Amino acid sequence: MGFRLLPDHLNREDQQALLDLVMALAQEAPFTRYVMPRTGRPFSIDMTNAGSQGWIADRSGYRYSPVQPVTGRPWPAIPATLLDLWHTHTGYPHEPECCLINHYRGEGARLSLHRDEDEETFDAPILNISLGDTAVFRLGGPKRTDPTRSFPVTSGSIMIFAGPSRLFYHGVDRLRVGSSQLLPDGGRLNLTLRRVTRPTR
């Protein structure tokens, strides 16, 4: 069990259906440009969430919140299509609690090298779904100083970060702007499904 990339896994119709779901979710929970803790510098991408827990950032840190910080309303539920993909590809016996949605609008949109480490448990894999422009994705190892490699991730591709790769450093260097026509205004959407709390049995 480790890292898996399933290139072009979802067909065009499934991609469009996911895009429609994201557009609907964004009506309820608007995309927001967070700022980074301490520096207060804005991210180059916009974010929203579905689920009982949404990943947020502000001057005081990175964390999960049950509500959208601007509207104060709970995040919309994670759509069944995404729950199905989670169960199919992760085999994890519990539901994901967060679907973080990143919107990379175009040139200059990136996500620097980081680990997903704000969750209470790292037992569950992370499921990553890409829609729209190809991303130049960077994957390293468990330590920030480990060597990294970069590779293209196209629209409809799925990545699974399971086992040790759950805590590998990763990021997005840039988009190949204009490589996909899926999003009406161009750019890329990325969905990551996450388990946040430790399941109680």
Ligand X SMILES: O=C(O)CCC(=O)C(=O)O
Give the nearer residue to ligand X in terms of CB position, either 116 or 133: 116
185 in a labelled binding site: no
Q: Which stretch binds Fe ion (CB under 5 A): 19-27, 116-124, 132-140, 161-169?
A: 116-124
Pairing of strands 170-176, 134-139: antiparallel
100 binds ligand X (CB under 6 A): yes
Helix (H, G, I), strand (E, B) or coil at 28: helix
- What ranges in 11-73 are assigned the alpha helix state H? 12-28
192 binds ligand X (CB under 6 A): yes
Strands in the chain per DSSP E: 3-6, 46-51, 54-58, 61-65, 98-104, 111-114, 126-132, 134-139, 149-153, 158-161, 170-176, 188-194
Which residue in 46, 97, 116, 133 binds Fe ion (CB under 5 A)? 116
Return the residues of window 154-183 that contact ligand X according to CB under 6 A.
170, 172
Residue with tokens 């920030």: 144
Give the nearer residue to Fe ion in terms of CB position, either 116 or 133: 116
Give the H/E segment covering residue 43: none
170 in a labelled binding site: yes
List binding-site positions for substrate.
Answer: 55, 62-64, 118, 144
Interface contacts to ligand X, rule CB under 6 A: 100, 102, 111, 116, 128, 135, 137, 170, 172, 190, 192
Q: Which residues make up the interface to Fe ion (CB under 5 A)?
A: 116
